[in-house]
Amino acid sequence: MTDVETTTLGPPSVCQEAGAENQMVRDLLGRIGDKWSLMIIGALHKGPLRFSALQQVVGGISQRMLTLNLRQLQRDGLLTRTVYPEVPPRVEYELTELAHGLLAPVLQLVNWVADNADLVRKHREIYDAEQGGTA
Amino acid sequence: MTDVETTTLGPPSVCQEAGAENQMVRDLLGRIGDKWSLMIIGALHKGPLRFSALQQVVGGISQRMLTLNLRQLQRDGLLTRTVYPEVPPRVEYELTELAHGLLAPVLQLVNWVADNADLVRKHREIYDAEQGGTA
DNA sequence: CTGTATCCAAACGGATACTG
DNA sequence: CAGTATCCGTTTGGATACAG
């Protein structure tokens, strides 16, 4: 057991305020916290990638969803879209400075999930077993 | 400039494996990265909260969604549900040890969103304006 | 207070076909 | 290559009513 008071996160941003400000936060969290958005941001952490490469790295995302998500992120100012006027069209996506502040937590989150996926799977089995045969 | 074409991700955990393992990661990311899950975890960072309190702190979530999300998180082993056999039923939810590793990135993420919500809103306005009047 | 169950509309999201 | 448009099944999620 440790502290039950102030934690390591100083900013009073996550307090129990429930105003219009919080509405925006909820909305944004729904967009950025989105499954695909997290993976896209994670995939671009090293540098720019083109459309097809992005689709491969993310894995399992349809063309449609990738396009839609990229547009949203671009609109939110989190990534730039650069079109190279070449014969075979080439488009590269890159994180903006704004997105870089987001990079650390997102990467940690993705890594945590990757590291603990198996453990979570175990917990699910236990939970499901308890619901079915015990209790 | 180094080679950046169709390369894979560097980090140990976010490999390019497109197998069942990565499928699980995507799935989990979709659940934990969920709008409500992030807010619930963020809301519980200080300590246990009961159902109604949780609903207030999160704000804007329906009873149904709160219940469903709590069950999911419980199933994943991220929080515990304690029922106090009192006359007016009281149920408290608390993060597990497992969830604590998730706490840092989630809190950072939520705080980033809260801090930059306004900036993102501005980017959206700019983007929308460009689509309508320029190009 | 803390849920569960049902109804139902809206959004999500894949598959496919087509374009520049 | 990098999209856009459409169809259409699946899922999400609020509202409401009811129960322990």
SS3 call for A59 = coil
Q: Which of A8-22, B19-33, B47-61, B113-127 has the lowest mean pLDDT?
A: A8-22
Gap between the Cα atoms of B4 and B15, Å rounded: 16
Record: contact B77-A22, CB cut-off 8 A: no
Amino acid at A55: Q
**Is the CB of B116 less than 8 angstroms away from the CB of A98?**
yes
Q: For strand D, give the nucleotides within 7 A of a protein CB.
A: 1-6, 13-17, 20
A16 touches chain B (CB under 8 A): yes
Alpha carbon B59 to its chain's center:
15
Q: Distance, in angstroms, between A21 CA and closest chain B CA? A: 8
Q: Which of B19, B35, B46 is nearest to A33 (CA)?
A: B35
- Output the pTM of the full model: 0.86
B65 CB contact with strand D at below 7 Å: yes
Model confidence over B56-108: pLDDT tens digits? 999 899 999 999 999 999 999 999 999 998 888 999 999 999 999 999 999 99
The confidence band for B134, taking pLDDT boundaries of 50, 70 and 90, is: low
Closest CA to B81 of A59, A28, A135, A103: A135
Strand D and chain A: which residues 83-122 have CB closer than 7 Å?
88-91
Summarize pLDDT for A35-80 with one digit per residue, the tens: 999 999 999 999 999 999 999 999 999 999 999 999 999 999 999 9
Worst-scoring range by mean pLDDT, A13-17, A26-30, A40-44, A95-99? A13-17
Distance from C-alpha of B44 to C-alpha of B41, rounded to nearest angstrom? 5
Closest C1' nucleotide to B89's CA: C1
In 3D, which of B94, B65, B45 has the Cα closest to residue A15? B45
- CA dist A106 and B132 (Å) reads 32
Q: What is the mean pLDDT of chain A?
A: 85
Q: Using CA atoms, how far apart are residues A33 and A28, in angstroms rounded to an integer? A: 8
Query: Is residue A129 within 8 angstroms of chain B, CB to CB?
Result: no
Nearest to B6 among A42, A56, A107 (CB): A56
Query: Looking at residue A38, what is its pLDDT?
Result: 95
Interatomic CA distance for residues B37 and B66, integer angstroms = 9
CB of B85 less than 8 A from some CB of A: no
Cross-chain Cβ contact A13/B104 below 8 Å: no
Confidence of residue B133 (pLDDT cuts 50, 70, 90): low
Nucleotide in closest CA–C1' contact with A89: D1
CA distances in angstroms from A135 to A62, A127, A129, A131, listed in the order given: 42, 11, 9, 7
Residue A93 DSSP one-character state = E
Question: Which long-range CB contacts under 8 A does A35-38 form with residues at least 24 apart?
Answer: A35/B26, A35/B29, A35/B30, A35/B33, A36/A61, A36/A65, A36/A66, A36/A69, A37/A69, A37/A72, A37/A73, A38/A106, A38/A109, A38/A110, A38/B29, A38/B33
Task: Check B24 against A108: CB less than 8 A apart.
Answer: no
Is the CB of residue B54 less than 8 Å from the CB of residue B69? Answer: no
